[in-house]
Structure 1
Amino acid sequence: MERLAFKMKLKTGAKEAYRQRHENIWPELKKLLSDAGISEYSIFFDAETDTLFAFQKVAAGNGSQDLAEHQIVQKWWQYMADIMEVNSDLSPKSVPLDEIFYMK
């Protein structure tokens, strides 16, 4: 298993909408992520900067970022685009983060 982390940006004032949408994550999206080898996925929010910090535990070489071509993922991006900073294809603008410390 590998651990991946990345950050994304919410639009100001969108925290509750983001939380609500994830509390009602589509079962087919959840299954797709699980089938792709993502066994853990957490997202944290920094209220000072509207930044989201995401963490995933994934099967080697996998991650949600690798599912960009899947129809369910593209539909989710479209659903989330009004509350996040996104790229021209509606994917969330995300920045991978390098792990510099891990304590077992």
Structure 2
Amino acid sequence: MEKYAWRGKIVPGMQEEYKKRHDNIWPEMKEVLADAGIVNYSIWMQGEELFGYYECEKGVEYAAKVQAESNVVKKWDEYMKDILIMEKDPVTGAQPLLTQVFSFR
């Protein structure tokens, strides 16, 4: 199973709103993530900094493709753009993949 990690930033002062929106994530957004083969998805926050991690049952490329083609994801991105500062990969439209340098089981 491939792993995907990303980082981002929250607009200053919008941490509670970011958390609130994720506490109320849309069911159709969860469905897209499941369709993309994304499991064990977690996001951590420290101040304005975000770190996200998920595993891709069908591979990173497949997960990126499903999300890039999803109108729900486009709608979510639009919904979040006022509180989120997120660099996007110009090829995939997703957050740039972080390079894994260590793993311990």
What runs of 5+ residues in structure 1 fail to find an aligned partner? none
Aligned mates of 1:46, 1:31 — CA distance in 2: 27
Are 1:68 and 2:68 counterparts? yes
Identity of aligned residues (%): 37
After superposition, where does 1:17-56 map in structure 2 within 5 Å?
17-47=17-47, 50-56=48-54
Aligned mates of 1:93, 1:15 — CA distance in 2: 21
Which of structure 1's runs of 4+ aligned residues deviate more than 4 A? Answer: none
Aligned mates of 1:40, 1:93 — CA distance in 2: 18
Query: Which structure carries more helix by proportion?
Result: 2
Q: Is the 8 A contact 2:68 2:94 kept in 1?
A: no
- Please state how far the C-alpha of 1:86 moved relative to its aligned partner: 4.6
Aligned residues: 98
- Please state how far the C-alpha of 1:68 moved relative to its aligned partner: 2.1
What runs of 5+ residues in structure 2 fail to find an aligned partner? none
- Please state how far the C-alpha of 1:39 moved relative to its aligned partner: 1.1
For residue 55 of structure 2, what is the amino acid of its counterpart?
A: K
